[in-house]
């Protein structure tokens, strides 16, 4: 593989840009191809069969773009379709946010996990964490409304505060909270206000990008070129919110996303 090939990152929508941000910071010379399936979000309320179908279509798209690594920046896909992604990727290394986030959170004693219904129902996070530390106490909450609110741009809306309090108030004894959806770091300030300063909030995006650095280094695939990196963004629906929210979060101007159809 050429080390100038791009890294492929995909999610159901905007949330995966939290992973992209971390990759940009830790691997500033890497080219990135990002795919956001905005037309078909949210994934978290869909059936396992549907999610697997969407993941298959996306991986085939990224493979066609000659990526050297694939990052599943979607907890729902990581939970129910990771094996399918690995199979379709062939010899391309695959990283996912659940595996990385589980390692980062496993030192906690009383761990809370907030995620989409599909991720919660899969029990992927508890199973993964318990394999690393079987003495921890784990509780989960399916935060169904977070993704649509974030995608609609309600980042600082009073409705978000009320809904977040409803979801998080039962988790009043946790010492660690896993943001089990890549959208959730965008509303980390709201979450922090509710859980308090003493709770260790785990953003799996940071650990995933660390693991990506480790894997690319091991495979001698780090891009050593000093050329300005190329960032390509592909979406299944053009939405002005993608650029506005993405630019606010990444602190950089995004190129206009290219519209694609996978059906």
Active site residue 143: no
Active-site residue, from 55, 74, 111, 216? 74
Long-range contacts of 126-132 (CB under 8 A, 24+ apart): 128/98, 128/99, 128/102, 129/102, 129/105, 131/102, 132/102, 132/103, 132/106
184: buried, middle or exposed (CB in 10 Å: 19+, 13-18, 0-12)? Answer: buried
Active site residue 181: yes
Alpha carbon separation from 204 to 55, 87, 164, 210 (Å, rounded)? 20, 23, 19, 10
Active-site residue, from 41, 181, 191, 202? 181
- Backbone torsions φ then ψ of 65, nearest 5 degrees: -90, 15
d(CA 38, CA 70): 19
Contact 102, 129 (CB under 8 A): yes
Positive or negative torsion for Cα 51, 12, 96, 112: negative
Residue whose C-alpha is closest to residue 191's, from 205, 174, 177: 177
Contact 255, 50 (CB under 8 A): no
Kindly list the catalytic residues: 74, 181
């Amino acid at each position: 593989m050429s080390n100038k090939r791009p890294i492929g990152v995909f999610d159901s929508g905007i949330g995966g840009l939290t992973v992209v941000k971390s990759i940009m910071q830790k691997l500033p010379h890497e080219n990135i191809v990002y795919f956001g399936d905005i037309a078909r979000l949210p994934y978290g309320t869909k059936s396992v069969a549907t999610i697997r179908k969407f993941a298959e279509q996306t991986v085939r798209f990224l493979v066609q773009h000659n990526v050297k690594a694939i990052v599943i920046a979607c907890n729902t896909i990581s939970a129910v379709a990771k094996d399918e992604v690995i199979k379709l990727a062939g010899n391309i290394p695959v990283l996912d946010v659940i595996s990385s986030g589980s390692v980062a959170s496993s030192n906690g004693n009383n761990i809370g996990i907030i995620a989409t219904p599909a991720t919660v129902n899969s029990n992927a996070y508890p199973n993964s964490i318990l394999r690393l530390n079987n003495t921890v106490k784990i509780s989960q909450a399916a935060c169904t409304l977070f993704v649509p609110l974030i995608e609609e741009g309600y980042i600082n809306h009073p409705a978000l505060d009320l809904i977040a309090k409803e979801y998080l108030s039962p988790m009043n004894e946790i010492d660690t909270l896993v943001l089990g959806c890549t959208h959730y770091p965008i509303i980390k300030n709201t979450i922090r206000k509710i859980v308090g300063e003493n709770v260790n909030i785990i953003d799996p995006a940071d650990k995933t990008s660390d693991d990506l650095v480790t894997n690319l280094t091991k495979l001698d695939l780090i891009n050593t070129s000093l050329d300005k990196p190329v960032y390509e963004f592909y979406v299944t629906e053009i939405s002005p919110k993608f650029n506005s929210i993405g630019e606010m979060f990444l602190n950089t101007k995004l190129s206009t996303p290219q519209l694609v159809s996978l059906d």
